[in-house]
A and B are shown apart, each in its own frame.
Chain A
Amino acid sequence: KQEVTQIPAALSVPEGENLVLNCSFTDSAIYNLQWFRQDPGKGLTSLLLIQSSQREQTSGRLNASLDKSSGRSTLYIAASQPGDSATYLCAVAPRNTGANSKLTFGKGITLSVRP
C-alpha cells in the first residue's frame, strides 16, 4: 500500500528565505505527483503536476522535482513571502490504475513565513 510522508509537519521561516519542502512515497510505481496548497479552512489548489516521465516542473517561484527511484519529491519555493504561508500537500497517482481516483495524499506541511 502506497504511503506518502511529509516531514516536518510544520515549518517557520523568515521572509526572503529559499526553502525546500519534502515529500516521500513508498511505491515508486507512480503515474504522476501533484503538489497542492491549502489555506486555512479552504479547499486545495493544485500548484504543480509532474508526470512520471518528467524530472521537474516550474511555475513562477515554485519548482517541483521528482526522483521516482528514491521515492522523493521536493517543492522549492524561492524568496519566500508571508503570502506563501499555507499548508502544502503532495499526492501521488499509482501507475496501475493511473486515475486520480486513487490518489494518495500526504498529511501536509504547514508553512509560516514571518515578515
Chain B
Amino acid sequence: QKEVEQDPGPLSVPEGAIVSLNCTYSNSAFQYFMWYRQYSRKGPELLMYTYSSGNKEDGRFTAQVDKSSKYISLFIRDSQPSDSATYLCAIMYGNKLVFGAGTILRVKS
C-alpha cells in the first residue's frame, strides 16, 4: 500500500465547474499537508499548505483535511482553462515530503 493514494484521472470538467481533488494517506503520524500544481515540463508550484483538520481558503482554492479519516481534498471554484495541470497532494513526514501520484485536470472552455 502506498503511503499516499491519489486518483490519477484524468478529470475533465467544463469551465466554471467546481472541481474536487482527493487523496488518502495511511500514516496517522503525518503532520503537514500541501497541494502543488504542476504544469507540463515545469516543477511543482505550492498552492496550499495546512496542518490542522478543517478548511483553509485562498481565493478560488479551498484545502480540506480530515485527520480522523486520513483524507485530504482540494476544491477549485469557478475553474478556468488555465487551471488545467497536474495536482499533487503532498504530506510532510519527518523532514521530507511524500507525494501522491498526481491527478491530471483538464478544464474545457
A binds B: no
